Amino acid sequence: MQFTFSQGRHKSIIPYELKARVPMSGAKGFDASDVLYLIMPDRFANGEPSNDVWDNVPIARNNPIGRHGGDFAGISKHLDYMLDLGVTAIWLDENHHGHHL
């Protein structure tokens, strides 16, 4: 397989070898028996207020595309809640700006 990258008149062709999948030893992927919990970390829970200002950008919860302050500490503090729901896998999605259901 090869990838072709071009910028203006410059073109690069990069060969890439697809190798056979190595069986996982004891590791489990997810299947229909799993309960996935989709989290948008910035929107989920603010567990560590000391990191609320990042790159001089403050939290702006009233702005739909602003930072809301959620972080990994907030997710960690809610793991028992997720276990009580039966969650077996967490999917973190950071691409949430402008995508509201």
Q: Which residue has the higher pLDDT, 68 or 88?
A: 88
Structural tokens at position 95: 């691409």
The reported pTM is 0.58
Exposure of 80 in the CB half-sphere (CA atoms within 13 A):
1
- Give the domain ranges of the chain: 30-101
Q: Please tell me whether residue 46 adopts helix, strand or coil conformation.
A: coil
Q: Which residues contact 46 (CB under 8 A, 6 or more apart)?
A: 52, 59, 68, 69, 70, 71, 74
Q: Which residues contact 57 (CB under 8 A, 6 or more apart)?
A: 67
* Of 86, 11, 79, 80, nearest in space to 39 by CA: 79
pLDDT tens digits along 24-55: 767 777 788 999 999 988 888 888 888 777 77
Q: Give the model's confidence band at 98: pLDDT under 50 very low, under 70 low, under 90 confident, else very high.
A: very low
pLDDT tens digits along 75-91: 999 999 999 999 999 99
Side chain identity at residue 85, one-letter code: L
